[in-house]
Structure 1
Amino acid sequence: MTTTKARTFRELMNAPEILTVPSAYDALGAKVIEQAGFAAVHMTGSGTSASMLGLPDLGFTSVSEQATNAKNIVLAVDRPVIMDADAGYGNAMNTWRAIREFERAGIVGCHLEDQVNPKRCGHLEGKTLISTEEMCGKIEAAVEARVDPDFTVIARTDARESFGLDEALRRSREYVAAGADCIFLEAMLTVDEMKRVRDELDVPLLANMVEGGKTPWLTTKELEAIGYNLAIYPLSGWMAAASVLQKLYAELRDTGTTQGFWGKYGLGMTFPELFEVFEYGRISELEQRFVRGQD
């Protein structure tokens, strides 16, 4: 039997070692993640909103915009790709439609949260939640919508901030009963809380590592020791990109050139190295084989 990327991702998620899944906001970032040797890629919702729209993670992106970005990322890499499906973009039937779109774009799993639409970044204040009953309906719709039974439905709860950890755990158990394959309990405040979540939930767990966020910023080894199965990094890539771009364009503005920039910060690559990120050599070989009759 052929092993699908969805099956591969499930096996990686359920392996004894933690699965580190860096987050890409576009196809370029995904290719860099793949070339760094990671086994899977996460498409960040906050980064998608920032890169496609120049807007914060406050529920501005649509299903179609997310699906387009997902398709481009999937086509760029030979790795399983999971993604942020926000709050399902509406009710349970909107969620059903979104899962169909994302799976057909090549996505092998997604996380879905229990916030009211439009949602907010899980590490911002002011989130409002839907009922447990409504969220369970969305999870059931997501399970129904998937074609490949190995497509991973990750249920995220943001209940910790508004209702406390006990309620977040109660909701998590309900979400597993509704069909969720993995739990993403957002914005825990201490390592002890993270350990309690592991002790009380018999299901794969996702850790969300947000630089400067509410949850303790642990290493993958520390997360693995607690018992987390996978870790995503939704801000890392686009935070790094924004930081470098700020410095680069300030240098150009102030000096009239970028000549001194790369050495100053220990950054940069050669022109050929840049093009090899996109496998220019392989594409050129294909061009030589297939492009004919243009003399």
Structure 2
Amino acid sequence: MGDLLRSGPAPRARLRELLAGPGPVVAPGAYDALSARLVEQAGFDVVYMTGFGTTASLIGRPDVGLLGGAEMVDNARRIVAAVDVPVIADADTGYGNAINVVRTVRSYEQAGVAGVHLEDQVMPKKCGHMSGKAVIGTDEMVGKIRAAVAARHDPDFLVIARTDAAAVEGLDAALDRARAYADAGADLLFVEAPTSEDDIARVARALAGVAPLVFNWAEGGRTPPLPLDRIAELGFALVLFPIGTLLAATAGIRSLLTALKADGTPTAALPGLPSFDEFTDLIGLPEIRSLEERFGP
């Protein structure tokens, strides 16, 4: 897992294989290389690089379009280097027009990710579960999807088309957009933030057979938290759990700091934490020692 000297199947082909399987692929969110390693070590087959979490971890700010493409790609590159499983990355709006999308897709592909999702929001964008979103025209987004498909060098690189139109123009308009994005060549469709189970089921019925579907199980967001077996029953191919790791890390750090502030030392919090040796094993020290023995004098 995440070995410096890698072996194993190509991540993009592996992701295609997983998505062709009988049930939904579960992709927990990672906001940095360490959280990505933890996702992989927990036994998950895919890592999702969350834009929300990337923004929070890099600059300590909300997901409102403050990061640029270079910052997002740099984070994706570090995450890919830390794990052996496929990484799907948030690519926001592509950071500009269709020409910018070409560069964005090339950059993410060079970083080693297995696929990206692009959304039809106006820049600066917002997290899909925030209010105040605006969307570009359907024709403009179709051009951006076509540009993304044309830009990839590896045919296994996935282009996921996300629409945020449900909150702006209504669900029917979002479904029309999704169909247009599929016609433009998108590999998967992602209708963001349906607000009821009935709407989720409508998405699944309306787009069945058009393209595989993404379900964003945004922790605490506007979409109802359906059980995984219900999501599978509806036919979704990919399920993202974008920010649970970020929220858990926040809670853990806050608890440690509370103990440190109250007691003057973190002793009371240490029983719930990994030991030093356990943590160094987790981040790959045994591999480093093995390589030292193999290549050292």
**TM-score in same-fold range (> 0.5):** yes
How many residue pairs match? The answer is 288
Answer yes or no: is 1:283 the counterpart of 2:288.
yes
Q: Distance in 2 between matches of 1:102 and 1:219?
A: 32
Q: CA deviation at 1:7?
A: 1.6
Structure-1 residue corresponding to 2:155: 149
Q: Is the partner of 2:78 in helix, strand or coil? A: helix
How many Å apart are 1:3 and its aligned residue? 5.5
| Counterpart residue number, 2:21 | 15
User: Helix, strand or coil: the match of 1:260?
Assistant: helix
1:23-172 equivalent positions in 2, closer than 5 A: 23-172=29-178
Deviation per residue, 1:171-190 (Å, 9 max, x gap): 00000001111011001011
SS of aligned partner of 2:267: coil
Aligned equivalent of 1:226: 234
Q: Distance in 1 between matches of 2:230 and 2:27?
A: 15
Superposed displacement of residue 70, structure 1? 0.8
Partner residue, 2:5 = none
Structure 1, unaligned stretches of length 5 or more? none
Instruction: Spell out, residue by residue over 1:159-198, the C-alpha distance to the aligned partner (whole angstroms, 9 max, x if none).
Output: 1111111000000000000111101100101111111111
Q: 2:269 aligned with 1:261, yes or no?
A: yes
SS in structure 1 opposite 2:127? coil
Task: Find runs of 4+ consecutive structure 1 residues off by over 3 angstroms.
Answer: none
Deviation at 1:249, TM superposition (A): 0.8
Structure 2: gaps spanning 5 or more residues? 1-7
Q: State the alpha-carbon separation in 2 of the partners of residues 85 and 154 from structure 1.
A: 10
Letter in 2 for 1:205: L
SS of aligned partner of 1:21: strand
Output the CA distance in 1 between the equivalents of 2:221 and 2:20: 26
Structure 1: distance between partners of 2:244 and 2:284 = 24
Aligned-CA RMSD value: 1.2
Q: Which residue number in structure 2 is paired with residue 215 of structure 1? A: 223
**TM-score, length basis structure 1:** 0.95
**1:127 positional shift:** 0.2
